[in-house]
Amino acid sequence: MLWRSIMLPSARSVYFRRQNRSSLTDTSKHTKLIKEAAKELGFSHVGIAKAQRLDAEARRLEQWLVQKFHGKMKYMDNHFDKRVDPTQLVPGAKSVVSLMYNYHNPVKQTDPEAPKISQYAYGKDYHKVIKDKLRSLLDLLTQEVGEVSGRCFVDSAPVLERDWAVKSGIGWTGKNTLLINPKSGSYFFLAELILDLALEYDQQMSDYCGTCTRCIDACPTGAIAASGYVLDSRKCISYLTIELRDEIPTAYNDKMDNWMFGCDICQEVCPWNRFSTRHDETAFEPPEELLEMKARDWQELTEEVFLRVFNGSAVKRTKFKGLKRNIAFLNSDE
């Protein structure tokens, strides 16, 4: 009995050391599995952050809302606690996996006078394309690890996507308020997996915008604050052509730079986008008809053509009526 009483604590210590080593090994293995599988699914960058309340980001969001910079996007007022605390979305959440999916396509519409569409809306709706990939990733994780509670998010729920991407170390917030990766630029969709699985967490990277003000200087509507990092959505061309349901204010006559859906100006002038590469996602390829439509074709756009050209596209968000409104507003500038 004396021998047992002496040896048992030592044996217990060895057991727990082994258990800890096993836990660390599993954490590393699961992290590697997620990152490798995500790359195989086409995601360009993957980072992981600890799931916890975003206190500093919550204060910034609250101030942004108080200043009414969200305009008529009333949904930004909703679910504040869920936006800043991932455990409100996934009880017991331990990790937030942030992913970047490239949509860069430098091809231009053939008619330089045709009203312009943001690159991200060239092809099929990214929500569905990327959500399907996230589900595949979550299914694989469940198969390999066992029961994992988690949810997939692609710009369709109260998640501070950019802030989590920064926390996960896959980029920094640029002065144009977009996420910038130093090796790949900013033409990316962001997506997240919130999991109740402990993983290895990545380090944040530094801000490399420096003294550059190209995005601020280039914005024709003055939507970016003079010092950068804050966007007044009410002045943003993307907001005016997509989110705003009312008539576009006449104050923006001659300031829309011929954009009828979205705007890429602050990305086009960003020096970091010299590292952008063309995407290889077939679902994001634009219909040939879209690229070849002339300015007059857009002015005479019918609902039949709208439904054909934008079948399965994110442009349907603004609806036929909204796109016609935008085109008419651009023509009123002439």
* DSSP 3-state of 259: strand
- Residue 9 inside a domain? The answer is no
Work out the average pLDDT over 157-167. Answer: 96
- Residue 2 inside a domain? The answer is no
pLDDT (0 to 100) of residue 5 = 30
User: Contact, 241 vs 263, CB < 8 A?
Assistant: yes
> Of the residues 26, 85, 155, 297, which is catalytic?
155
- Residue 10 inside a domain? The answer is no
- Residue 8 inside a domain? The answer is no
- Residue 17 inside a domain? The answer is no
Work out the average pLDDT over 74-86. Answer: 94
- Residue 3 inside a domain? The answer is no
Predicted TM-score of the model (pTM): 0.90
- How do residues 246-286 score in pLDDT, each as one tens digit? 999 999 999 999 999 999 999 999 999 999 999 999 999 99
The whole domain housing 206 covers 22-332
Weakest mean pLDDT among 98-112, 118-132, 320-334: 320-334
- How do residues 175-226 score in pLDDT, each as one tens digit? 999 999 999 999 999 999 999 999 999 999 999 999 999 999 999 999 999 9
pLDDT at 312 over 50: yes
CA separation (Å) from 158 to 91, 212, 214? 15, 31, 30
The torsion angles phi and psi of 99, rounded to 5 degrees, stand at: -130, 150
pLDDT (0 to 100) of residue 330 = 97
- For this structure, is 155 an active site residue? yes
Q: Domain count for the chain, please give it.
A: 1
pLDDT (0 to 100) of residue 23 = 53
Q: How far apart are CA 211 and CA 213, in angstroms?
A: 6
